[in-house]
Amino acid sequence: MANFWISWAAGYPISDSQSGFRLYPAPLLQRLRVPVDRSRCFVFESEVLIEAARLGWRSLAVPIRAIYHEDARPSHYRATADTLRIIRMVAWKLIRRGSYPQGLYRSLTLPRE
């Protein structure tokens, strides 16, 4: 479900919007204006995708092998609070762009990379 909403707000199809494993080009990071705050930590990934797309940058999905160790620490993701923060951020981005119908169209019709 997150892929649909993040793709719409970004304006292109994104296959794994919630992956925290990303590399960002330095020129992009220098131009981004995304708040960094511990209370927004899980919002950051989604907001970077949306704001990068607004600046003309797209993400490229590269398959990797996920390895989960038995003794790994549990996730710090708080299902209700963090999901609501992401929803609020995406909704605000879409509202500010007049619901961004072009983004919805592109996210549904462009081929996935």
Identify whether the C-beta of residue 52 lies closer than 8 Å to the C-beta of residue 58. Answer: yes
- The residue segments making up the domain with residue 13 are 2-18+25-61+76-109
Q: Is residue 87 part of a domain?
A: yes
**Residue-wise pLDDT tens digits, 41-100:** 788 889 999 999 999 999 988 888 888 888 988 888 888 988 999 999 999 999 999 999
Q: Is residue 70 part of a domain?
A: no
Identify whether the C-beta of residue 2 lies closer than 8 Å to the C-beta of residue 46. Answer: yes
Number of domains in the chain: 1
Helices (H), 12-100: 26-31, 41-54, 79-96
CA angle 107, 112, 113 (to 5 degrees): 130
pTM (predicted TM-score): 0.87
